[in-house]
Amino acid sequence: MKDKGYKSRDGPGRTDTKCTMTTEYKKRRIALMKKTEKAVLIEGLRKLSTDAAWIADTLEGKVTPDAAEDAPIEVASAKPEEETTKALEAPAKEEKEVTFEDARALLADKARAGYKAEVKALLTSHGVSKLSEITDPDVLKKVVQEAEGIGNG
């Protein structure tokens, strides 16, 4: 079998499938490239490094997006940032509606985890002996909130 120029990262005799190209293999591949291919590759790498430096300078505040004449990308203004912050805060304000099935699953998980007495005490503190006796959605929500704290504190 002809050597493809690959070498195992873990050393000889390993069955690991991850491998890297050896330096010799890389040198052979570069030597076989045509001059035009090399020129295109070099130009692309230089453009990439220039763009990366410009982005880093913009993020650090050294360059403003408007100051660059041939900016590689457009940077958003402060207004969308404020909107993004508001969008992230909005889901926190909206509370998820608690279903009976969610509450039952949560209490069952807590009971299986060894907190059966705490679950029973929680139900008793709300005036019921079984979860199915709770008909008020607000009470169900309170039970779930308190149950989430069981075993976490």
Distance CA 106, CA 135 (A): 17
pLDDT reported for residue 12: 58
Structure tokens at 129: 């002996």
pTM: 0.39
104, 141, 101, 133: which is closest to 119 by C-alpha?
Answer: 104
pLDDT reported for residue 48: 93
- What is the residue-wise DSSP string for 65-107? TTT-TT-SS----HHHHHHHHHHHHHHHHSPPPPPHHHHHHHH
pLDDT reported for residue 93: 46
Q: Are the CB atoms for 49 and 60 separated by under 8 Å?
A: no
Q: pLDDT confidence of 79, banded at 50, 70, 90?
A: very low
The answer to whether residue 74 scores a pLDDT higher than 50 is: no
Residues 91-149: pLDDT tens digits?
Answer: 544 567 888 888 999 999 989 989 999 999 999 999 998 988 988 888 999 999 999 88
Residues 3-57: pLDDT tens digits?
Answer: 555 555 555 555 555 556 788 888 887 778 788 888 888 899 999 999 998 888 8
Burial group, residue 128, by CB count within 10 angstroms (0-12, 13-18, 19+): middle
101, 145, 39, 67: which is closest to 75 by C-alpha?
Answer: 67
Check residues 151 and 87 and name the one with the higher pLDDT: 151
